[in-house]
Amino acid sequence: MNPVLISDKEKLESIIKQAKISRSELARLIEVSYKTVYRWLDKNVIPHRNESRRIDELFKEFVDLRELVNKLKSNLGDPLKILKSPKEIRTKFILDMTYNSNAIEGSRMTLKETEAAFKGEKVRGKEIFEVFEAVNHKNALEFLLDEVKPGFKINENYILKLHSIVMYNFNDKLPGKYRTGFVNLTNTEKKLPSAQMVPQEMRKLISGINKYGKDIIGKVASDHYTFEVIHPFFDGNGRVGRLILITQLLSRGYPPAIIQIEDRYKYYTALGKGDLGDFKNMAQMICDSVIRGYNLLKGT
């Protein structure tokens, strides 16, 4: 998390206040002395990098980030306008989002190789399908940014269109169409709906996807989990699911959530928690990723 937004001292104070953790307990969790915590809080001493990283981990574990994200949202303005001008921010967002989203799904493309693919340059050592994946995701994001407006309503045609762009040139994956057979998810025992049940399950999801209530982040987290466990397509479910997530956030005035490849394990763990009806981890991950999106939009 960017320290410009909230300092280590503020994180420590939030942990103490919200989680009701004492200074001595904080010292134990961070594996430092009580005097060290005292110097951080009362003498404005800056923690070392590893200590700062541990403080950040505890902050995300014990403090609900939704309040912070809602404050950032109120200070931002319309994120869609920012993503249209200046061009540099839009370009960087599309590059970062494409690289990370594809990498989460196993792409070997580096950030520089992804950028080269965008420019139509030859990418040595990579298969043509990997280049297609990068360009397709870029085109899907361009479509998303051109279509989405404040209050935008997601429907089935929009979701199928996103998939048709993401899977362009992958005809065996049925671009823009629901799967017609069984798929298997790794690292989970969650039973997926049959192909025959997918249209019905998607209609159920879409019927409530634009109804957010007061806890918008919590609703987006729940919807993202639901989409992924329906797994409506033969391939591209993760990428399309994250595009839907970004659509929901942008349409409600939030910065986009940029989930990084470094957080892949935490992301899958958060999805796994959803099997137990627990969406706190996913909401926290979305908040952390929204903060990253906020930093990008603010140019920090």
Is residue 114 a contact partner of residue 121, using CB atoms and an 8 Å limit?
Answer: no
Is residue 231 a contact partner of residue 240, using CB atoms and an 8 Å limit?
Answer: no
pLDDT score, position 191 = 85
> Could you give the CA distance from residue 184 to residue 189 in angstroms, rounded to a whole number?
9
> Could you give the CA distance from residue 221 to residue 277 in angstroms, rounded to a whole number?
11
| Nearest to 141, CA basis, from 89, 210, 104, 95 | 95
Residues near 71 by beta carbon (within 8 Å), at least 6 away in sequence? none
Residue 189 clears pLDDT 80, i.e. is over it: no
Which part of the chain has CATH 1.10.3290.10? 79-298
pLDDT score, position 219 = 98
pLDDT score, position 187 = 60
pLDDT score, position 2 = 43
Give the DSSP per-residue string, 56-100. HHHHHHHS-THHHHHHHHHHH--HHHHHHSSHHHHHHHHHHHHHH
Task: Name the band, by pLDDT with cuts 50, 70 and 90, for residue 3.
Answer: very low
Question: How is residue 244 annotated by DSSP?
Answer: H
Kindly list the distances between the CA atom of residue 137 and the CA atoms of 164, 240, 243, 251, in Å, as whole numbers in the listed order: 11, 9, 9, 20
Task: Name the band, by pLDDT with cuts 50, 70 and 90, for residue 108.
Answer: very high
**Average pLDDT of the chain, as a whole number:** 94
- The tens digit of pLDDT for each residue in 25-78 reads 999 999 999 999 999 999 999 999 999 999 999 998 899 999 899 999 998 999
Residue 85 clears pLDDT 80, i.e. is over it: no
Which part of the chain has CATH 1.10.260? 8-63
Is residue 176 a contact partner of residue 161, using CB atoms and an 8 Å limit?
Answer: yes
pLDDT score, position 218 = 97
Q: What are phi and psi of 29, to 5 degrees?
A: -70, -35
CATH for the stretch 8-63: 1.10.260
Please tell us whether the domain made up of 79-298 is placed in CATH 3.40.640.10: no
Show contacts of 106-109: CB within 8 Å, 24+ apart.
Answer: 107/133, 107/134, 109/133, 109/134
